Structure formats: C-alpha cells, structure tokens
Structure 1
Amino acid sequence: MNYVLDHVGIAVRSIDDILPFYLNVLKGELIDRYTSDAPGVEVHVAVVRTDDKIMELLEPTNKNSPIARFVKQKGKGVHHIAYRVDDLDKAISEARQNGVRFLDNTLRTNSRGRRLIYMNPASTDGTLIELCDYK
C-alpha cells in the first residue's frame, strides 16, 4: 500500500483572517472553498495549494463542531495529516491487522468525492491521521 501525503488540515478561528497569509506570504493559490454541514463535521474549508503541497484551512461552523472543540482544547494549528492511499478499504484492513484502531464514525465520503477515515490518535501516539482515496 502506498501512503502519499495528501494534505495537512489546519484548525483556524477565521479563514478570512488567515487566508491572506497563505495567499500573499506563502504564495499559495486558493483552489477550493466549501462548507460541510454534515453532522459531526460542521466546518468551512478553504483548500490552498503551495507548489505541490495542499493545506485545508478548517473553520468551525458552530460551537459543537469537532474543529470548535479542537480549537477550544488545543488552540489553533495542525489538526490532522492526511495520507492518500490507492484503496481505502484495503488500507483500513491492513492497518487493523497491525493493531491500528480507527474512529469508525468518521468513515465517509465528503462533498468533493474523497472517501476518508481518521485513525484513532491512541494508535498514532497522539497525531490525528486521515486516510483517504478518490474514487
């Protein structure tokens, strides 16, 4: 199974406040912007590309969203690291065979067609890792 860095998710309080930094200072390009109102997600997303790297700026849409809880508990900053895999189902199976636990309620397809799941941070020494594929 190949694991390729897909993107880094960054929790922010306000996309509009931080976006100029990514566009003007880091010379990034805004390639997508959308809102996910799915239960358990509730987030505004701005996707920024710098050269061959992708960052997702994640702004909570309500005080109970996972990103709002993250910002309240840990502050702004890196929320997760995402790895693209060839076959998400196979990657999950292989990881489970190696004792990795997942946050099973996170398995979903987002509004942009990306299938994803998050590994339980207890299995990754505290880092929230997303596995994803694009069908």
Structure 2
Amino acid sequence: MNYELDHIGIAVRSIEEALSFYLEVLKGTLEDRYTSDAPGVEVHVAVVRTNGQTIELLEPTNRNSPIARFIRQKGKGVHHVAYRVDNLEQAILEARDKGIRFLEDTLRTNARGRRLIYINPASTEGTLFELCSYPQE
C-alpha cells in the first residue's frame, strides 16, 4: 500500500481571519471553499495550496461540531494529518491486521467525493490521522 501525504487539516475559529496568512505570507492559492453540514462533521472548509502542498482550514459551523470541541479542548492548530492511499478498504484491513483501531463512525465520502476514515488517536500516540482515497480518479 502506498501512503502519500494528502493534506493537513488546521482548526481555526474564523477562516476569514486565517486566510490572509496562508494567501499573503505563504503565497498560497485558495482552491476551494465549501461547507459540510453532515451530522458529525459540521464544518466550513477552505482548501489552500502552496507549492504543491494542501492545507484545509476547518471552521466549525456550530458550537457542537467536532472542530468546535477540538478548539475548546486543545485550541486552534493542527487537527489532523491526512494520507492518501490507493485503496481505502484495503488500507483499513491492513492497518487492522497490525492492531490499528479506527473511529468507525467517521467512515464517509465528503462533499467533494473523497472517501475517508480517521484512525483512533489511541493507536498513534495521540495524533489524529485521516486515511483517504479518491475513487473518482
């Protein structure tokens, strides 16, 4: 299985306030903006690319969203690191065979067609990792 860094998700209180740093200082390009109102997601997303690398700025849409809870508990900052895999189902099976646990309720297809699941941070020394694939490609 190939694992390639896909993006880093960063929790912010306000995308509008955060964007100037990524666009003006880091010279990034705003590639996409969307909102996911799916239960258990509830987030505004801004996708910024800088020199071929992708950052997703994540702003909660309500005070009970996972990103709002993250900001309350840990503050703003890196929420997760995402790795693209060739085949999500196979990657999940291979990881499970090695004792890795997943946050099962996070398995989904996002608003842009990306299939994803989060690894339980208990399996990664506390860091939240996303595995994702792009079936439409």
With the length of structure 2 as denominator, give the TM-score of the two structures.
0.98
Say how many residue pairs are matched: 135
The alignment-based identity, stated in percent, is 76
Q: Distance in 2 between matches of 1:99 and 1:82?
A: 19
Q: Distance in 1 between matches of 2:127 and 2:105?
A: 18
| 3-state secondary structure, aligned to 1:116 | strand
1:56-75 to 2 correspondences below 5 Å: 56-75=56-75
The amino acid that maps onto 2:54 is I
Does 1:9 find its partner at 2:22? no
Does 1:33 find its partner at 2:33? yes
Match of 1:102 in 2: 102
CA RMSD across the alignment = 0.2
The amino acid that maps onto 1:64 is N
Q: Distance in 2 between matches of 1:15 and 1:67?
A: 13
Q: Distance in 2 between matches of 1:67 and 1:41?
A: 8
Shift of 1:86: 0.1
Shift of 1:94: 0.1
Q: Distance in 1 between matches of 2:18 and 2:89?
A: 35
Match of 2:51 in 1: 51
With the length of structure 1 as denominator, give the TM-score of the two structures.
1.00
Q: Distance in 1 between matches of 2:130 and 2:18?
A: 23
Gaps of 5+ in 2: none
Does 1:130 find its partner at 2:130? yes
Shift of 1:52: 1.1
